Amino acid sequence: MTLFDAKPSVGRKFLVAGRGGLNLTHSEPREKFATRYTGAEQPENFWQTLLAEFDADALRQSAAQLGVETFAATSGRVYPRELKAAPLLRRWVQQLRAAGVQFALRHRLTGLRQDARWQLDFLVAGELHTHEADAVILALGGGSWPETGSDGDWVSVLEKLGITIAPLTSSNCGWEFPWPAAVLAQVEGQPVKNISVRAGETTITGELLITKYGLEGGAIYQLGSALRALPEPEIVIDFKPAHSVEQLVRKLGNCPRNFLAEARSRWRLSDAAFAILENLHPPFTSAEALAATTKNCVLKLTSPRPLAEAISSAGGVRWRELDAALMLRQCPGIFLAGEMIDWDAPTGGYLMQGCFAMGTHAARSALAWSGAK
Ligand SMILES: Cc1cc2nc3c(=O)[nH]c(=O)nc-3n(C[C@H](O)[C@H](O)[C@H](O)COP(=O)(O)OP(=O)(O)OC[C@H]3O[C@@H](n4cnc5c(N)ncnc54)[C@H](O)[C@@H]3O)c2cc1C
């Protein structure tokens, strides 16, 4: 068995994820876990079935077998105790080598041809090398962070075989918003915490980060698919989700003017919320108007940040191209796993868990396929 990779080493995005502590998976119940995955045309119950085969516990156990213990943080996110990716990757590669897996690095897949067996064309130091195989698992990633190797170049390789692919787009990414200079001067780099944020029908409780170009943060990442579905992407921020408009008005008491300045202390508005309300709206002439805007502050977003910067990508090989074994219907013997398929999930460990579970399923399917030949 040979593992080919275009880069001089494997698992580069895995290592990048390690910079954030390596959020391997999540500890929530499997039924809820399965609802985190979205994507056009996903087969019904696909994720329930997939996670029943390889769930968060299975992933934690496989890390433990490699000597890497994990823990669930209060958020439910699961990390290695050391909060590092390198030890896990190193031991995983050692285990594969010990099992007889060959590593062929600096091999860029440029073509797939069907003969009696599959012919895989690789570019190696500028020369074409061809390898043969009965079963092939492609796990070539999406299009984010291309410097880690997942540059989406495989799209043309599969399109030549007639495979349909939804365009790779940014997911779990920041969005652009033209902040007035005064907002950036006051609160660039600051978080807006304890808010709820809505896009279309989806509401998320979380936080946002004000950046030079717009917004980052968990809440906007989780709203990605809802935002992409809107003809004109906009979010509605509720800076005081625990209070109704009436309660906020009552808390302002009989304040006759300077509503926003009073609200800053009486409602404990964060600096960022204050700066947004002060600079994006004309002066408030009543407590009611301020309370209503505080609970429904609309920001019309310009566009998602570029794919190269995103944590993950949406789009990829369309589900209709795959059977239940994750094999390409048009290319018997070629199996797919990971971000190159048209699914999406929020941050929280769902991305890695999805990739590991798909990898497990594709590997079992490929073994069964080779054994049957
Ligand atoms: C900054 C950052 C932080 C993240 N943190 C987390 C996290 O904490 N938790 C989480 O769940 N997810 C996280 N993710 C997402 C997660 O890393 C990815 O979803 C996951 O790595 C995707 O796995 P994959 O196997 O599909 O592809 P990848 O990990 O992208 O691997 C694809 C591999 O294919 C190789 N390849 C591509 N094209 C070719 C070719 N033509 N020929 C040969 N080889 C090729 C690449 O070199 C690469 O090694 C993070 C992502 C980023 C960018």
- How would residue 67 be classed by pLDDT, with cut points 50, 70 and 90? very high
Please report the atom of ligand 1 found closest to the CA of residue 139: 25
Whether residue 225 is predicted with pLDDT greater than 90 in this model: the reply is: no
Arithmetic mean of pLDDT over the chain:
96
> So what's the pLDDT on residue 256?
77
Predicted pLDDT of residue 178: 97
**What's the CA gap between 61 and 96, in Å, rounded?**
17
17, 199, 368 from 4: Cα distances, Å: 21, 41, 21
Residue 127 Cα, ligand 1 centroid: separation in angstroms?
26
Looking at residue 260, what is its pLDDT?
A: 93
Q: What pLDDT is recorded for position 258?
A: 86
Position 33 scores a pLDDT of: 97
Which 8-state DSSP code applies to residue 134?
S
CA 22 to ligand 1 centroid distance, Å = 13
2-170+308-372 homologous superfamily: FAD/NAD(P)-binding domain (3.50.50.60)
* 312 backbone φψ class: left, alpha, beta (φ>0; ψ -120 to 50): beta
371 falls in which pLDDT band (50, 70, 90)?
confident
Distance CA 249, CA 284 (A): 13
Cβ(236)–Cβ(296) below 8 Å: yes
Domain ranges of the chain: 2-170+308-372, 175-300
What residues flank ligand 1, with Cβ below 6 Å? 4-7, 10, 12-14, 16-17, 20, 22-23, 108-109, 139-141, 144-145, 149-150, 153-154, 311-312, 338-339, 349, 351-352, 355
319-336 per-position pLDDT tens digit: 999 999 999 999 999 999
Distance of CA 151 from the midpoint of ligand 1 (Å) = 10
Is residue 40 predicted with pLDDT exceeding 90? no
257-262 contacts, C-beta under 8 A, 24 or more apart: 259/284, 259/285, 259/286, 259/287, 259/289, 259/290, 260/284, 260/290
> Ligand 1 centroid to 364 CA: how many Å?
21
% of the chain at pLDDT higher than 70: 100
Mean predicted confidence (pLDDT) in 150-159 = 97
Token pair 């809107």 in the structure block, residue: 230
Question: Per-residue pLDDT averaged across 12-29, rounded?
Answer: 97
What is the SS3 assignment for 159? helix
d(CA 269, CA 162): 55
